[in-house]
Each structure stands twice: as structure tokens, then as C-alpha cells.
Structure 1
């Protein structure tokens, strides 16, 4: 999974857990992060230097809930392995029907990443909080189809990845050590953890060596580029729908 997306999801999960249990937020910043800053919107003039500081200030402003937001389609899957390409954000719901969202900007400097989250007010936000549906059935379907396609064009390694994600959703892969770590460390219901873990495994949209690279060329050479594009687009949509449900709906 793209590091930007993973961090956004993990911050939201930690914040939701803290809100539900009325405790301090439990979030361990990634080792590769050098500086993490949250700048609040105009009129606030507050700059938080950690996730804990950000969460505390949000509570002071009347935080009621927090959601992960992301588009379910993109114009160019080929750039998703790079920073600042996910289009995702953290959406905060405050008392008084105030809604804002934080979007990240990643910059690599010297020996680590500087990450700046900037808050923007969501003017004319829809009334009420969004609800998300469990897409397990549709996710499994596209995983089966794209696994068969990957095998057909000679990429058994990718076929195995998609099958592993399918097995997690099916329940036959619950003893997998990768899944076990997710279940142990992520404070969500098990059905949500399955979707989250499967989305992590199936996210193969990177740069060199990814599903965007050689498989795309091989599909073109075989005259199967339309099928490749269709299945790849469907997979990305199901991955993002899985994240939206898993991270937000519990």
C-alpha cells in the first residue's frame, strides 16, 4: 500500500479508537518520517507537531468523528507509486456542523520525509456523515478475475498476490502470519481487518516492478490491453471501497 494512504488510514483508525474509548490517541509515527506537521485553517493559526498534538487540538475544537476519504477512481494508475498522488484526506466532523479536511504533502529531505497536513474548511458539506457499504463480495469477484488474467499473461507472482488477498476475504487465509499481525495490531472488528488487510495485499499499483509495469506491456503485446485496463480499474476501485468501509464503518 502507498505509504501516504497507509499513514492516513492509520491516523484515522487511531483517532476513531481514541474517540470511542475516550482515551489519548495511540499512534506510533513511522521511522522514515523526519517531521510531521498539521497546520490548522485560517483563523486558528495553530500548528501541531505530532499526531497526538493534532488530536488534542481537534478535541479542543469539538471533534465528534473522523473519516478517511479517497476517490475510487484515478486518471492515471501509473503514478500511484509516487508521493502526493492518492487524492486522499482526513475529514473531521466538529460540533456546530463544522467539517474540515486535512490533505498531506510529502517531501523527501536528506534522511527522511517531511510531511505537512493542511486543514481546509469544507464549505457546504453534505448534511450528516457519509456511510459506506461492505464490498467484500465484489472485491472477491475482481480478485478472482484478475488472478486468472495475471496467470494467463504469465505473471504467476501477481496471481498469487491476488489469490492471497482473496483467501483473506474468503476466510481460508485467516491463519496467514501477515493477517495475524493485522488482527493483533489494528483495533477494528475482524471483518474490517480482513478488508483492510486484503486491500493492503492487493494494492500492486506502484512504479517499476509493479502491476503497472511489465504486466501492462505484456497485455498490450498480446492484444489484451482493454481487459487489463478494465480489470485494473475495477481492482483499484474495490481496494479503495474496501478501505473506505474498513477504516470508517465501525
Structure 2
């Protein structure tokens, strides 16, 4: 999965845990959400002068949520139409998977926080695997149309698409991809996550149903969009019909995965 999306999923998880007073269980949240990052910072506008801001580390941002009157924290996504290239073609790269934001819900309005990822050249030259500095800033908007997706509905939708992909991969003799899609479908069929999923390290334990965790793992396993060697790189087909099927299934899968991520991430939202 795109690492910038995964980081936001993690922030939503820990934010709602803080709002639900689950402090003892999440003392190491800073390490977990900082995968590949040298720094993760939040720029908080100064009240009365939003051209100035204070900088908060994730732990301080989490602790400030109740003080600022935040009631819920959600994940928000909006696709970005591109006539030259489908969004799924750039989805494996930082900033290439549409507009994802963290939504903090207050009384009568929302705040939307977007991330900016920049390479820290000093860390890169040192050969560190933590080369990114990530800054979250508040967008100048207070309301956006938000679609609501449920875990059950998205699990059923994704299962159908994965079944189609398994059959299609068998037809075009792509056994490797067939195995990947079949494995993701098996997780959904079992309605619980496998013991090996690393996503358990990115979210607060106990905040999700087994079905929700299975959906997130299946979405992660089948998030096959990236650069060279990814599903986007499958280009050889025997017939035009196969190529058309590949394009249609790829678009369906990408759209479904985004809804699955939203359904999972927002299933931990608390009611206040």
C-alpha cells in the first residue's frame, strides 16, 4: 500500500484511541507512524493569526485533540481526474494516489489535514532508510462531501473483484498475480486477519472487528499498483479483449481498494 496512505490510517487509529482515553496501550505511537520518516510534524495555525503556526510532534498533536474540541478523527479521500494517466498508474508513489486527508471533526465544522513529504538529503546521504520529513498542514476548508462505506459491503465487493481477477490471471497465465489475488480473497473468506499481517503494528489493538482487520489486510495484499514489476506493468496480451478486461478490472480494483481503506480506517471512529 502507498506508505503515505498507511501513515494516515495509523494517525486516524491513534487519534481516536486518544479521544477514547486509551493512553496506556499506545505509548510507542510515534515510532509506529514514522515508518521511513526522519520526522513527522504537525503545523498548528496560531489562533487569530493563521499565517503563523506552532509545530507539534505526533504525541503532542494527539494530546491536543480533546483540548481543541475534536470529537472524531476520520480518513478522507478524493480522486484526482487525469486525462493523461489513470490515478492507479501513479498510486504506488508518494503523493500519487489522489488526495488523502485526515479529517478532525469539531462541533459544526471539520478541519482537513494534508501531508507534504520531502526527502531529507542529509539522511539520504547517510544511507538511512528514514529519509522523509513529513509535514501535516491544515487545508483552508471546513467542509467536504464525504462518502460513508461499511466494512461488510466493501468486503463483499472486493471478494467479487478478486474472484474475477483470479479467473482472469488463470486465463492469461499469470500465476504469480493469481496467487496474490487468491491469497487476498482467502483472508476475506476467513473473515479474520492472518497472524503475519504487519498492519497490526500500525494501528491500535482492540479498535477494530476481525472482519475490519481482514478487509484491511486483503486490501493491502491486493494493492498491486506501483512502478516497474507491479500490476500496472502487465502489458502483454494475446487479444484486444484480454487487454480491455485487464483495464476494466484494474480500474474496478483500484476504486474498490480506496473504498476498503476508508471503510476500515473509519470503522474505529468513536461516537460522541
**TM-score normalized by structure 2?**
0.80
Mapped contact 2:10–2:33 kept (Cα < 8 A)? no
3-state SS, counterpart of residue 69 of structure 1: strand
CA distance in 2, matches of 1:144, 1:189: 24
3-state SS, counterpart of residue 47 of structure 1: strand
Q: Does 1:76 find its partner at 2:87?
A: yes
Structure 1 residues 249 and 175, CA gap change in structure 2 (3 angstroms):
closer
In structure 2, runs of 5+ residues without a counterpart are: 124-130
CA-atom RMSD, angstroms? 2.4
Aligned to 1:150: 169
Q: Does 1:15 find its partner at 2:15?
A: yes
CA distance in 2, matches of 1:249, 1:189: 9
CA distance in 2, matches of 1:182, 1:34: 20
Mapped contact 1:169–1:194 kept (Cα < 8 A)? yes
Number of equivalences: 242
- CA offsets 1:100-127 (integer angstroms, 9 cap, x no match): 111111112222101111112433446x
In structure 1, runs of 5+ residues without a counterpart are: none
Q: For 1:190-201, list aligned pairs within 5 A.
A: 190-201=210-221
CA distance in 1, matches of 2:201, 2:113: 28
CA distance in 1, matches of 2:225, 2:80: 13
Deviates more, 1:3-12 or 1:81-90: 81-90
Aligned to 1:211: 231
Mapped contact 2:109–2:143 kept (Cα < 8 A)? no
Q: For 1:120-159, list aligned pairs within 5 A.
A: 120-125=139-144, 131-134=148-151, 135-159=154-178
Mapped contact 1:72–1:236 kept (Cα < 8 A)? no
**TM-score normalized by structure 1?**
0.86
Deviation at residue 146 of structure 1 after TM alignment: 1.0
Mapped contact 1:73–1:233 kept (Cα < 8 A)? no
Aligned to 2:258: 240
Aligned to 1:3: 3
CA distance in 2, matches of 1:203, 1:142: 13
Deviation at residue 72 of structure 1 after TM alignment: 6.0
Aligned to 2:239: 222
Structure 1 residues 162 and 171, CA gap change in structure 2 (3 angstroms):
same
Aligned to 1:54: 61
